[in-house]
């Protein structure tokens, strides 16, 4: 029987002269032939004329003529799953996931998602950048030489690497000399070479994290592994101890590929009840049979304030849902009895909720008008999260990517503290993001030193532009620097805003896709057309590439060489493959390998920036003091695994002198628990778990056991429901029109702003709130060109049945979604699983802009999101989801399926 039974029937997506190598690799060498046809190695057709596809490549795999290799799946999808490729003679024949071990609760197989399964189509796609390219009419020198008005509209000329890097170096020298470092704007990850020239302007925003990155440490939570409120939930085995798990704005089946959904399902099978809170009932909630608590998009603050009010009311009526001992022992600022020493206001959270200060008790009746949640659901939820049960409260960052949610993180923490749900088995509160989803705690196995990176810091003072206003700033030549956001007030990274005038001339980018992934695309295109030069380092032809002048093709993590008998050693360690991302989860590390030679004329990014440095008369060793292969080795050689005592770490990998010699690296032989060769063959190392072992983790347990010996990072050392540092940091920026309170309060939501007259309930010009869920078809803008996943996930706009009926729209109809920023076409998916008043347009698809009508046929939500979504208090925050639109049934030609659209490719002229 064939490994892949059935035929592939789709149009040939390989356009623009893609090489035959890419064609056969992308199709997996599965020997597709029309019905009734035959080819070498294929069985004759059966009675129905169907080809059963027992072909030569199947025989190669079954005969073990090649090898399965663990390969990188590098996009920021939140997974870090296991993907294996079967490689024979440098050709990828198949992909699979982890099936090499028994699948048990203690050591589950690490499954990958459809994006990972289709990665061949990404690596070998027709939109791969093959050669250095120059936009046809662009010339150096700036001004009219750039012919900026033709960006995105004309073809390309193939040039040599020498020419391409020469152009870039020449223009950088000219602009730095004539205009200074503020005239060069970096939107990529690398480009530290610019720091040796005097620095660069760069953007700064909370991106995915929304308002959750305001002041997590100051409030008593944390920044774990770079993520706010992370590494604080309990480990995967402890979830079985929860009576209730709340998924707040979470859809792990789409957002966190791999095993998280499996871990939640195990808890469900163990008797745990699930609750989902959000504006739509997603596939994860359905899988877990979760009770749906409906909350309109962006109105979660009103909902949770009413929950707090109900918890107080129920407790006073004798139901005993509030854990007063917890609030007075581990928290400050809940009531007058527990105020912190640094409090500047004689106010507390309890009295605010009861309406003492503003005359408005935060009752369910008050909240329901805003959040749309039935009053009985608010009361039920308040009872459910009380102290009497073991409750695990998990959140994504999506609910805080709205205007008006500045206090949501503090409020979410407050409700958890009211129930005492920290530091005990079955009780937790924290984020489920990226590799920490459903499995919190410190690493049981971890890699060595941080991945190789350039060592030259940006010397430019106050270089950051808040990303929500990036296009406006570049367009108008003025930006407001307010400091960085990641460390916040602890290191005084927030600064009083300062107006800085500049004259942007050059935009450089690598790996990212800023034009497609940043709000207000139409204004972004305008800005790109104004530049003297735009340079894009990438492996694929993105929207950003389309509007660039010089394209520098880089390799993917699949490309390189670890066998010096086959040529020069090469492994990617920069943008597309940071070695720190080898880490898969708390229990596991991945050790991936390159499996094919670099394609076409693509180069490793280290080589690109080193060669550019030479042309700029700089020393590349100032950027990259160690080689890529040395960095790769150091990461593996420094790996450690925890011992059975749950405390001591020991060396993971046994390395011999022969191993060191094979890679020509510096190192010493060492003894570990697994040989380097075995680790590379397995591609992973998993720490087995069992109930009752010493490897479990309960978030906040040390603090709860002994708060004086294990204080939190806040000023008081406790959970700060009243947090003076939070208020001072935001108020010190000088951006907001009003003072932010130290405790969580209500701020008007985008829903209320959708009315021209809230009191009279008169709808505004754009009465629908469009939010953008992540989608299983892609990871942000990555992988979206894969035809296989395009066929599986059609990327509609989701509309409530009530709103669709009012406009005469049915599922499958083409819908025009529009506002002042732009216009987008999508097919409608009409459903009863989304609340009226909101529509959901999945995040990340490529823009296919019709220049005549201004309509985007690709469905990119950032055609509609603009700078008006920037938070009123925290200017670093992208309020992507606070986008007001209208929609109507389209009276033009029906939109075809995305998988049938001709891809946008570079063309030589």
Residues 382, 345, single domain; the answer is yes
**Domain assignment present for 235:** yes
Q: In terms of domains, do 561 and 608 share one?
A: yes
Q: How do beta strands 855-856 and 823-831 pair?
A: parallel
Residue 297 sits in a domain whose CATH number is 3.40.228.10
Indicate whether 638 and 497 sit together in one domain.
Answer: yes
Q: Count CA atoms closer than 13 A to 517's CA, side-chain side.
A: 22
Query: Do 727 and 675 fall into the same domain?
Result: no
Of 102, 123, 144, the residue at which a domain comes to its end is: 123
Instruction: Tell whether 236 and 175 lie within a shared domain.
Output: no
pLDDT of residue 1: 28
CB atoms within 10 A of CB 457: 9
Q: Can you give the pLDDT at residue 723?
A: 97
Of 97, 123, 149, the position where a domain reaches its end is 123
Q: Does residue 110 lie in a domain region?
A: yes
Q: Is residue 867 part of a domain?
A: yes
Is the residue at 580 inside a domain? yes
**Phi and psi, residue 564, nearest 5°:** -70, -15
Are residues 118 and 149 both part of a single domain?
Answer: no
Q: Within this chain, do residues 110 and 143 fall inside the same structural domain, yes or no?
A: no
Distance separating alpha carbons of residues 13 and 9, to the nearest angstrom: 11
Q: What pLDDT does residue 63 have?
A: 76
In a domain, 5, yes or no: no
Name every residue whose Cβ is closer than 8 Å to that of residue 547 and which is 6 or more positions away in sequence.
Answer: 151, 152, 515, 525, 528, 529, 534
In a domain, 112, yes or no: yes
CA 26 to chain centre: 26
Output the pLDDT for position 641: 98
Nearest Cα neighbor of 482 from 468, 495, 492, 465 is 495
Instruction: Count CB-CB contacts under 10 A for residue 619.
Output: 10
| Beta strand spans in 434-493 (E) | 445-446, 464-466, 478-483
Same domain for 373 and 259 = yes
Q: Could you tell me if residue 378 is inside a domain?
A: yes
Both structure tokens of 759: 């009191």
| Boundary (domain end) residue, out of 628, 655, 686 | 686
Q: What is the pTM of this model?
A: 0.92
CA atoms of 391 and 376, how far apart (whole Å): 20
Q: What is 57-96 written as a DSSP string?
A: HHHHHHTT-SEEEEE---SSSS----EEEEEETTEEEEEE
Domain count, the chain: 4
| CATH number of the domain that residue 165 is part of | 3.40.50.740
Tokens of 127: 């939109």
Confidence at residue 494, expressed as pLDDT on a 0 to 100 scale: 84
Q: What are the per-10-residue average pLDDT scores of the chain (909 residues)? A: 30 32 28 32 41 58 83 79 89 88 86 86 92 98 97 96 98 98 93 95 90 92 86 93 97 86 94 98 96 98 98 97 98 98 97 98 98 98 97 96 97 98 97 85 88 76 94 97 69 82 97 92 97 96 97 94 92 63 79 93 95 97 91 93 96 98 96 97 92 95 98 96 95 94 97 95 96 91 88 95 98 98 98 97 94 95 93 92 97 94 79
Q: What is the reported pLDDT for 609?
A: 95
d(CA 377, CA 811): 30
Going edge to edge, which strands form the sheet with 445-446? Answer: 445-446, 640-642, 649-651
Q: Do 481 and 388 sit in the same domain of this protein?
A: no
Domain range for 192 is 133-206+450-686
User: What string of H, E and C letters represents the secondary structure of 325-371?
Assistant: HHHHHHEECCCHHHCCCCCCCCCCHHHHHCCCCCCCCCCHHHHHHHH
Residue 118 and residue 99 share a domain? yes
The sign of the CA dihedral 469, 471, 475, 481 is positive
Query: What pLDDT is attached to residue 405?
Result: 97
Whether residue 699 lies inside any domain: the answer is no
Whether residue 720 sits in one domain with residue 668: no
Q: What is the DSSP string of 701-757?
A: HHHHH-TTTS--SSSSSSEESS-HHHHHHHHHHT-SSSPPPSS------HHHHTEEE
Angle between helices 375-384 and 364-371 (to 10 degrees): 110
77 shares its domain with 111: yes
Q: What's the CATH number where 879 sits?
A: 2.40.40.20
């Amino acid at each position: 029987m064939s490994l892949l039974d059935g035929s592939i029937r789709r149009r040939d997506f390989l356009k623009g002269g893609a090489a035959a190598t890419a064609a056969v690799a992308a199709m997996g060498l599965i020997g597709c032939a029309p019905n009734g046809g035959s080819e070498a190695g294929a069985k004759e057709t059966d009675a129905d004329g169907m080809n059963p596809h027992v072909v030569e490549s199947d025989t190669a795999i079954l005969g073990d003529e090649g090898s399965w290799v663990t390969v990188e799946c590098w996009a920021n999808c939140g997974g870090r799953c296991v993907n294996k490729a079967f490689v024979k003679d440098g050709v990828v024949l198949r992909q699979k996931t982890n099936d090499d071990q028994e699948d048990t609760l203690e050591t589950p197989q690490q499954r990958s998602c459809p994006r990972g399964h289709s990665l061949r189509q990404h690596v070998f796609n027709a939109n791969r950048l093959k050669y250095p390219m120059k936009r046809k009419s662009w010339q150096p020198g700036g001004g009219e030489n750039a012919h900026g008005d033709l960006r995105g509209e004309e073809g390309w000329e193939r040039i040599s690497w020498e020419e391409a890097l020469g152009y870039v170096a020449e223009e950088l020298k000219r602009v730095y000399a004539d205009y200074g470092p503020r005239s060069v704007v970096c939107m990529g990850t690398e480009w530290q070479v610019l720091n040796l020239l005097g620095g660069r302007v760069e953007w700064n925003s909370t991106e995915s994290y929304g308002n959750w990155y305001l002041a997590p440490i100051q409030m008593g939570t944390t920044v774990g592994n770079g993520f706010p409120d992370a590494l604080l939930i309990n480990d995967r085995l402890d979830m079985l101890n929860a009576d209730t798990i709340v998924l707040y704005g979470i859809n792990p089946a789409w957002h966190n590929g791999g095993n998280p959904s499996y871990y939640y399902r195990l808890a469900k099978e163990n008797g745990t009840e699930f609750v989902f809170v959000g504006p739509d009932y997603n596939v994860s909630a359905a899988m877990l049979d979760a009770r749906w608590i409906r909350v309109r998009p962006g109105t979660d603050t009103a909902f949770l304030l009413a929950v707090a009010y109900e918890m107080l009311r129920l407790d006073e009526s004798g139901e005993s849902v509030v854990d007063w001992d917890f609030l007075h022992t581990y928290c400050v600022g809940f009531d007058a009895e527990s105020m912190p020493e640094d409090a500047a206001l004689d106010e507390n959270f309890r009295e605010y909720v009861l309406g003492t200060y503003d005359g408005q008790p935060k009752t369910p009746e008050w909240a329901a008008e805003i959040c749309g949640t039935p009053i009985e659901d608010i009361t039920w939820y308040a009872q459910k999260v009380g102290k009497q049960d073991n409750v695990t409260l998990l959140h994504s960052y999506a609910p805080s990517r709205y205007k008006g949610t500045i206090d949501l993180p503090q409020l979410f923490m407050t409700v958890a503290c009211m129930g005492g749900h920290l530091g005990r088995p079955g009780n937790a509160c924290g984020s489920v993001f990226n590799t920490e989803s459903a499995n919190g705690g410190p690493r049981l196995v971890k890699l060595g030193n941080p991945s190789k990176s350039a060592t030259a810091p940006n010397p430019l003072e106050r270089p950051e532009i808040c990303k929500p206003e990036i296009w406006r700033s570049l367009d108008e030549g003025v930006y407001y620097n307010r400091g960085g956001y990641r460390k916040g007030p602890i290191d005084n990274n927030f600064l009083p805003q300062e107006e800085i005038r500049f004259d942007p001339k050059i935009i450089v980018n690598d790996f990212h896709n800023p034009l497609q992934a940043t709000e207000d695309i139409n204004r972004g295109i305008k800005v790109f057309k104004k530049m003297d030069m735009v340079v894009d380092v990438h492996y694929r032809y993105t929207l950003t590439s389309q509007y660039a002048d010089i394209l520098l093709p880089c390799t993917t993590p699949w490309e390189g060489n670890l066998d010096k008998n086959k040529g020069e050693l090469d492994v990617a360690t920069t943008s597309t493959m940071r070695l720190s991302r080898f880490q898969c989860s708390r229990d596991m590390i991945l050790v991936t390998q390159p499996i094919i030679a670099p394609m076409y004329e693509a180069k490793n990014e280290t080589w690109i920036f080193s060669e550019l440095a030479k042309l700029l008369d700089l020393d590349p060793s100032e950027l990259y003091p160690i080689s890529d292969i040395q960095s790769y080795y150091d990461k593996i050689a420094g790996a450690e695994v925890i011992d059975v005592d749950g405390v001591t770490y020991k060396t993971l990998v046994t390395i011999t002198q022969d191993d060191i010699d094979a890679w020509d690296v510096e190192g010493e032989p060492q003894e570990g628990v697994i040989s380097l060769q075995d680790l590379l063959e397995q591609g992973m190392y998993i720490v087995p778990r069992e109930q009752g072992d010493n490897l479990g983790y309960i978030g906040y347990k040390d603090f709860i056991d002994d708060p004086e010996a294990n204080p939190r990072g806040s000023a008081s050392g406790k959970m700060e429901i009243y947090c003076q540092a939070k208020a001072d940091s935001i108020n010190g920026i000088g951006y907001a029109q009003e003072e932010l309170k130290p405790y969580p309060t209500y701020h008007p939501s985008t829903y209320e702003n959708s009315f021209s007259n809230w009191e009279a309930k008169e709808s505004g010009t754009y009465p629908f709130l469009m939010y953008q869920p992540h989608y299983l078809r892609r990871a942000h803008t990555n992988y979206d060109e894969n035809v296989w996943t395009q066929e599986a996930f059609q990327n509609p706009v989701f509309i409530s049945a009530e709103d669709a009926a009012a406009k005469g729209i049915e599922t499958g109809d083409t819908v025009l979604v529009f506002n002042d920023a732009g216009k987008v076409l999508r097919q409608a998916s009409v459903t009863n699983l989304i609340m009226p008043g909101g529509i959901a347009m999945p995040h990340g698809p490529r823009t296919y802009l019709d220049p005549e009508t201004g309509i985007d046929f690709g469905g990119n939500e950032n055609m509609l999101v603009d700078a008006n979504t920037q938070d009123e208090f925290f200017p670093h925050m992208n309020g992507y989801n606070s986008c007001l639109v209208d929609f109507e049934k389209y009276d033009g030609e029906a939109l075809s399926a995305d998988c049938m659209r001709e891809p946008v490719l570079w063309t030589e002229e």
